Amino acid sequence: QVRLEESGGGLVRPGDSLTLSCRASGRNFSIYRVAWFRQVAGEEREFVAAISWKGGATSYADSVKGRFTISRDNGKSSTYLQMNSLKPEDSAIYYCTIPPYPYGILRDGNWHYWGQGTQVTIPS
């Protein structure tokens, strides 16, 4: 049973920083690519960032490039999303996800297992 548990969301002001965490269990996390997505009510889930299973490659949506940083600590079966210079348009529920199979490269996509999400709110 794969389980992904996000944490770290909250209510912050524009320009503030926030770090989200996602802890995985049930799989050998160290051999899985990981991604963060976000979703606003009534809209489609949007890709935010991804990191390779070794951690050497990352990918970001244009809207967060230069402000967000994805990282991982395989010893803790965790991935993190450091979010700086937050804007009201970053408000969403943030989800972490892994594919159904290990290894692969970032552009393979095929994200399959999802956490329950953590809410980030930046009022305008």
Q: Which one is predicted more confidently, 27 or 10?
A: 10
Amino acid in the structure at residue 100: P
Does residue 58 have a pLDDT over 90? yes
Spatial contact of 5 and 98, defined as CB atoms under 8 Å apart: no
| Average pLDDT of the segment spanning 106-115 | 90
- CA neighbor of 113 nearest in space, from 14, 12, 33, 9: 33
The percent of residues in the chain predicted with pLDDT above 70, rounded, is 100
Q: Which residues of 76-115 are buried (b: 16+ CB within 10 A; e: fewer)?
A: ebbbbbebeebeeebbbbbbbbbbeeeeeebeeeebebeb
| Per-residue tokens: 3 | 């389980």
